Amino acid sequence: MKSSGFSYATPLEAMSDHRFLGPAVSSLERRTAVADVMCKESVQLPRVWLSVESEKQQPLIQKHRKSLDKLHLMHQRKMKAVDDILATAAVR
């Protein structure tokens, strides 16, 4: 970011810049976003971040596998119910 003229201290700082919270997208916001993505890609931040995050999550997933499987099944049942309701509503 610094080579593009920005001085954000962390990888998350640019996207939480208070100047960019409004509904309109300014040219500064657009230039900042492009520089932010280019910077992150140049150091392979998304790949490294995902790798580290996954490494930390895997033990937790294994530890809580039964609960996660139950939640997944519940979600599938809910989505089936939604599909059934929408299918019935579409027939009317």
Q: What is the mean pLDDT of each run of 10 residues along the chain (92 residues)?
A: 94 94 95 97 96 98 98 98 92 71
- Quick one: tokens of 10? 């962390």
End-to-end CA distance of the chain: 56
Per-residue pLDDT at 54: 98
Per-residue pLDDT at 13: 96
**Same domain, yes or no, for 62 and 87?**
yes
**Same domain, yes or no, for 27 and 54?**
no
**Same domain, yes or no, for 29 and 9?**
yes
Per-residue pLDDT at 89: 86
Q: How far apart are CA 39 and CA 45, in angstroms?
A: 9
**Same domain, yes or no, for 34 and 64?**
no
Number of domains in the chain: 2
Domain limits at 29? 2-43
Per-residue pLDDT at 34: 97
Per-residue pLDDT at 91: 73
